[in-house]
Structure 1
Amino acid sequence: MTYRRAGTSGLTLPALSLGLWQNFGDSTPFAAQRELVLHAYERGVVHFDLANNYGPPPGSAEAGFGRLLATDLRGHRDELLLSTKAGYRMGPGPYGEGGSRKYLLSSLDASLRRLGLDHVDVFYSHRFDPTTPLRETVGALATAVASGRARYAAISSYSARRTAQALEIAADLGLPLVLHQPSYSILNRWIEEPGPDGRTLLDVAGDAGTGLIVFSPLAQGMLTDRYLDGVPEGSRAARGVSLRTELLSPENLARVRTLREIASGRGESLPRMALAWTLRDPRVTSVLVGARTTAQLDENLRALDAVPFSPAELAAIDAVSLETAPDGTSRPLDTGINIWADRSSRL
């Protein structure tokens, strides 16, 4: 395993981390969960990314991982990097989502109970909440760290503008924000889009010494061969889970086929090339994958052995995923795959 420093902090992460968003709920047999997590650990994937609402149902991913911490992983806690988040809808009523101090800290306490821990390593504000003062949200993260319930604080899916604001508040509170977790893939390059001050999220994070750990690097399965010949039964698109069938447009599928040809020219599978591409920028600390099987995880890990991209290969990828703006500059193509934009990154 290759490990990378999170910005200018002292924290290191594996270049490839395991996200437990959709593959670790009650619908997945616990034996399969156990096999995947232990295999990941043996391969050096020591960072496991959770959130309060991961499952399904919400809370079940943390509860399942808590079972492993109490059994197979007992005695290995200090060898693991565990993160969780709060921000999206977790429960009913006015205190079941958002960025308020009440919700964030009560959610963290509930997460710790499900995990059977007294602290997590990283606690995230899962999304920007326009109904809560940002100082209150960042202040809650500071309390989580000061109280010992989290070792580090982080944010997820904040736009470049909101990230800059959060970093300014955090600095005033003496709180480092060590990580930012945005979506990012060849077909979803929004973190390269300049904000009002001309800086991209990559720029803002890099200037502040905040590491980026990117999720959905395979565009919810689009950057694979899975959907090139239709929608398989049981797939995310078939179930309507985070991948709407309208995203499988002829235009997007044509882009996927072109990218597969580029990957083939490199002697790689499309997923392997897509993961390697997200790691090409040194400001990206780690990439989160949502492997469901040990075989998928092993294939993902092969991306760490990819050869560097040539200028011609990068230009060919850009031709698929960038467009020319009216002023003649290149900008990320809006493929519709950033499904989180209206709730977070565009605010």
Structure 2
Amino acid sequence: MYSADPTRYDGRMPFRRCGDSGLLLPEISLGCWHNFGHVDDQHEARAILRRAFDRGVTHFDLANNYGPPPGSAEENVGRILAEDFSAHRDELIISSKAGHEMWQGPYGEWGSRKHVLASLDQSLKRLRLDYVDIFYSHRPDKNTRLEETMSALATAVSSGRALYVGLSKYPPKMLKQAVKILKDMGVRCLIYQPPYSILNRWPEAEGIHDWLEEKGIGSIVFSPLAQGMLTGKYVDGIPAGSRAARAEGFLQTAQVEAQIEKIRALHRFADDLGMSLQHLALRWVLSQSAVTSAIIGARTVAQLDDSLAAFQAPSLDKEALEIIDAIAPAVKKDDAEG
């Protein structure tokens, strides 16, 4: 029987307001993209969720297609939520998304009203929940009118299946259009979810961060460690068994090779500051005023604890930020190397 740590809100985990909404998110959120599927160790998955909550991580980020296989992360997290966290539902922020391929046929992916609402209903069944706190359109659909996709998000809120809605990976022009359409429908976009790290600064370079702050919209960033490139794992090359060494992975050898000089320079600078590259990367992301929260993954409880130990590392002063800018300047998406 799980009993939550009574000191979980003692200040170890800082919280930030999500834009100008009433919602507060932990500065580090737990992503369930990897490590919670049917192929993973379910005892470790349960231990990770428990440890995260005990450390003040109140936000678990999911999507319909997380696994593998797709859907299995929601099934497994849903079982653990029901067995361990039912008494804490009102302390938790559970998010999910729709848009990537989930089933065969013309309605199994993208942004049609048919797909988005059917996917939400399936996610709620897998998660064993009556509602999710945040529901995202996971990716833009260039072949479906934005009004249709946004109307599905608005229905998710009006029907009580989601408390808030957000957008993930939308390019700047489409993001701004979608936010306006939602507003005209009487629904505010709570949050935007882009990839963002020292090595991938396009939301900053293209003015999205400034625009989000102006509009009072939060930003929760994924891949703050650049898919592991900012953990120190690749400083001496590409180790066997790593993500970049697997042909089927999202991180490719060419991406690492394109960034290797920056990675090594950042690693040396982290050493000079007396911290790990991973902690430098997380500290840097959280130094950005537009960032509400950073989503991390964890394969083990030890990995989770190591990431959360970033809060014990010193904050980055102006001089440190300027050095990082010189090593890895912000560039627009089309100009980025990876």
Number of the residue aligned with 2:249: 241
Q: CA deviation at 1:333?
A: 8.9
Alignment of 1:226-265 (within 5 A): 226-239=233-246, 240-249=248-257, 251-265=258-272
The answer to whether structure 1 residue 301 and structure 2 residue 301 are counterparts is no
TM-score, length basis structure 2: 0.93
What is the distance in 2 between the residues matched to 1:140 and 1:16? 29
What is the distance in 1 between the residues matched to 2:67 and 2:320? 38
The answer to whether structure 1 residue 94 and structure 2 residue 106 are counterparts is yes
Kindly provide the amino acid, as one letter, of the partner of residue 261 in structure 1: R
What is the distance in 1 between the residues matched to 2:261 and 2:167? 34
Q: CA deviation at 1:132?
A: 0.7
Number of the residue aligned with 2:68: 56
Number of the residue aligned with 2:21: 9
Cα deviation code 1:16-39 (max 9, x no counterpart): 000000121112111010111111
Where 2:173 maps in the other structure, the secondary structure is helix
What is the distance in 2 between the residues matched to 1:304 and 1:201? 26
What is the distance in 2 between the residues matched to 1:238 and 1:204? 37
Cα deviation code 1:305-338 (max 9, x no counterpart): 3333222211211122127xxxxxx76794432x
* Cα contact 1:188–1:334 (8 A) shared by 2: no
What is the distance in 1 between the residues matched to 2:92 and 2:333? 35
What is the distance in 1 between the residues matched to 2:334 and 2:185? 37
Where 2:68 maps in the other structure, the secondary structure is coil
2:175 to 157, 163, 176: 163
Alignment of 1:108-257 (within 5 A): 108-194=120-206, 200-239=207-246, 240-249=248-257, 251-257=258-264
What is the distance in 1 between the residues matched to 2:107 and 2:149? 14
Cα deviation code 1:94-118 (max 9, x no counterpart): 1111111110000000000101111
* Cα contact 1:322–1:332 (8 A) shared by 2: no
What is the distance in 1 between the residues matched to 2:337 and 2:118? 34
TM-score, length basis structure 1: 0.90
Number of the residue aligned with 1:79: 91
2:319 to 312, 321, 327: 312
Number of the residue aligned with 2:50: 38
What is the distance in 2 between the residues matched to 1:37 and 1:308? 27
Kindly provide the amino acid, as one letter, of the partner of residue 174 in structure 2: R
- Structure 1 residue runs of 5 or longer lacking an equivalent are 195-199, 324-329, 338-347
Kindly provide the amino acid, as one letter, of the partner of residue 284 in structure 1: V
Describe the shift of the 1:54–1:332 C-alpha distance in structure 2 as closer, same or farther (beyond 3 A).
closer
Cα deviation code 1:191-249 (max 9, x no counterpart): 0233xxxxx11122111110000000000000112122333333212223210111121
Q: CA deviation at 1:75?
A: 1.7
What is the distance in 2 between the residues matched to 1:147 and 1:332? 36
Kindly provide the amino acid, as one letter, of the partner of residue 25 in structure 1: G
Where 1:76 maps in the other structure, the secondary structure is helix
* Cα contact 2:35–2:299 (8 A) shared by 1: yes
What is the distance in 2 between the residues matched to 1:129 and 1:208? 23
Where 2:84 maps in the other structure, the secondary structure is coil
What is the distance in 1 between the residues matched to 2:233 and 2:39? 21
What is the distance in 2 between the residues matched to 1:247 and 1:143? 40
Number of the residue aligned with 2:116: 104
* Cα contact 2:66–2:73 (8 A) shared by 1: yes
Q: Among all aligned residue pairs of Structure 1 and Structure 2, give the percentage whose two residues are the same amino acid.
A: 51
What is the distance in 1 between the residues matched to 2:86 and 2:332? 48
Number of the residue aligned with 1:197: none
Cα deviation code 1:104-151 (max 9, x no counterpart): 000000000101111100000001111111111111101000000001
